[in-house]
Amino acid sequence: MPQGDALKEAARRLAAEFQAKMEGPQGGVGTFADHALLGFIAQLEQLDPAASWEDSVAQLSSRLEGLRLALQRLQLLLHRRAQGRFVDYQERTQTAPAGLYGPCDIGYFDMVMSQGAFDCLRWKGMPLFKTVYDFALYPMILWALKPRTVIELGSGTGASALWLADLTALFGFSSHVYSVDLQQPAVRHEHVSFIQGDCRTIDTVFADALLREAAHPWMLIEDAHVNVYGVLRHFHAYLERGDYVIVEDSASKQDDIRQFLTQEPGGYKVDTYYTDFFGRNATCAQDSILMRA
């Protein structure tokens, strides 16, 4: 992580960037994070200029513990930004430090509560099993990517497929969602094809011609939790540069993801703009919002 004078210089550049962002694209309005970061850096600038910020903060009383935590977060943020937006999976997962809580900046209970404490999120009254972070991230990804084809593995109630199709229609671009599960949901949508199929035998679910003719860019969402490596291996032959692959609930799927990506060096990049939008891996798709390179 950046330290000493390098930390000060990097933090000042970041402050200038945030200030320009506020005054430019954001029309003079700052986010909570903008104001907190700028205020925190201003606090650090008041410390002994002859000493490093790390040494100065370490000598502060325990009542200023929040300042120590804020400094740690700033160092982690600067370290990640120095890597750039699109990062190789191996570099991403093997480079220390990671997050405040292992690979993530969000604690376990904060993450599990993010689907709802007493109920789950809903779309058109149907249960939608997304975290609040992913509920915000998917619309941004859809708007930026404008996928012509969305393939969702794991339909559940069908709410997520309808949600994705509704968003693409709202955004005004043509897209079709293919959603696969062992049982077809009862709901219907003109831009959704619900397919009964077993991802354990993914090669039998889609006709080769359909996948070869499906318009790009694609968004492929793995949320079936079975045969993850086999699924990634199967769809690799059809994916094109710029397509996105999102592996949901991926904390337990890292071995499968790593096995696949090791076989395709440089073929996919982690898009950290989305994985780290709310803090490192503040998403169910831990290190697994991937762009085909």
The answer to whether residue 282 scores a pLDDT higher than 80 is yes
Residue 67 — pLDDT band, cuts 50, 70, 90? confident
Where residue 160 falls among pLDDT bands split at 50, 70, 90? very high
166 and 236, same structural domain? yes
- Reported confidence tier of residue 225, pLDDT bands at 50, 70, 90: very high
Whole-angstrom distance, CA of residue 243 vs CA of residue 220: 8
- Average confidence (pLDDT) over 137-160: 97
Task: Please check whether residues 51 and 171 belong to one and the same domain.
Answer: no
| Residue 263 pLDDT exceeds 70 | yes
Residue 205 banded pLDDT, cuts 50, 70, 90: very high
Alpha-carbon dihedral sign for residues 17, 22, 25, 31: positive
Cα angle for residues 277, 282, 285 (degrees, 5° grid): 100
pLDDT of residue 63: 67
- In contact, 30 and 67? CB cutoff 8 Å: no
Beta bridge partners, 149, equal 176, 218
Alpha helices in 26-64 (DSSP H): 32-45, 53-58
The reply to whether 145 and 276 lie within a common domain is: yes
| Domain boundaries, position 30 | 4-83
DSSP state letter for 215: P
Last residue of a domain, one of 35, 65, 83: 83
Burial 195-208 (b: 16+ CB within 10 A, else e): bebebeebeebbee
For residues 118 and 144, membership in a common domain is answered with yes
